Amino acid sequence: MKARVQKVFARLDPKPDALLLANSVDPHLDQSFFYLFDVPAGLFEGSVAIAHPDGELDVISSPLEAETAFEAAKADPHSHVEVVNRDESDPVLKKKLQGVGSVGLNFKELTHDWYVRLEKLLPETRWVDASVGIRNARVTKEPGEIERLRKAAQIGSEVGREIPSLLKTGITELELSAQMEYRMNLHGASGRSFATIVAFGPHGAEPHYQPGDYRLKPGQSIVCDFGAIHRRYVSDITRSFHFGPRDDEMKAVHETVEAAQSAALAAIRPGVPARDVHLAAEAVINASRWKGRLTHGVGHSIGLAVHDGWGYGPKTEELVEEGMAFTVEPGIYLPGKGGVRIEDDIVVTKNGYEFLTTAPRSYLEVPA
What is the domain extent for residue 291? 143-366
Asked if residue 62 and residue 92 are part of one domain, the reply reads yes
Q: Which of 104, 138, 172 is the last residue of a domain?
A: 138
Asked if residue 179 and residue 109 are part of one domain, the reply reads no
Asked if residue 245 and residue 219 are part of one domain, the reply reads yes
Tell me the percentage of the chain whose pLDDT exceeds 70: 100
Could you give the CA distance from residue 196 to residue 174 in angstroms, rounded to a whole number? 9
For residue 202, how far is the Cα from the chain centroid? 27
Could you give the CA distance from residue 228 to residue 151 in angstroms, rounded to a whole number? 9
pLDDT band at 68 (very low <50, low <70, confident <90, very high): very high
Sign of CA dihedral 332, 333, 334, 340: positive
Could you give the CA distance from residue 14 to residue 26 in angstroms, rounded to a whole number? 30
Q: Which of 107, 138, 169 is the last residue of a domain?
A: 138
What pLDDT, in 10s, does the model give residues 112-171? 999 999 999 999 999 999 999 999 999 999 999 999 999 999 999 999 999 999 999 999
Asked if residue 62 and residue 22 are part of one domain, the reply reads yes
Query: Residue 297 belongs to a domain with what CATH number?
Result: 3.90.230.10
Asked if residue 94 and residue 163 are part of one domain, the reply reads no
Q: Which of 112, 138, 164 is the last residue of a domain?
A: 138
What pLDDT, in 10s, does the model give residues 238-293? 999 999 999 999 999 999 999 999 999 999 999 999 999 999 999 999 999 999 99
Asked if residue 179 and residue 59 are part of one domain, the reply reads no
The total domain count for the chain is 2
Asked if residue 96 and residue 11 are part of one domain, the reply reads yes
Compute the half-sphere exposure of residue 34: CA atoms within 13 Å on the CB side of its CA. 23
Asked if residue 80 and residue 131 are part of one domain, the reply reads yes
Query: Residue 110 belongs to a domain with what CATH number?
Result: 3.40.350.10
Asked if residue 151 and residue 126 are part of one domain, the reply reads no
Asked if residue 147 and residue 134 are part of one domain, the reply reads no
Asked if residue 330 and residue 249 are part of one domain, the reply reads yes
Could you give the CA distance from residue 122 to residue 91 in angstroms, rounded to a whole number? 11
In total, the chain counts a number of residues equal to 368
Give the C-alpha distances (Å, rounded to integers) separating 171 from 210, 217, 288.
16, 9, 33
pTM of whole model > 0.85? yes
C-beta contacts of 82-91 below 8 A and 24+ residues apart: 82/58, 84/60, 86/45, 86/46, 86/62, 89/46, 89/48, 89/60, 90/117, 90/121
How confident is the model at residue 75, as a pLDDT? 87
Could you give the CA distance from residue 92 to residue 107 in angstroms, rounded to a whole number? 22
Q: In sequence order, what are the beta bridge partners of 340? A: 332
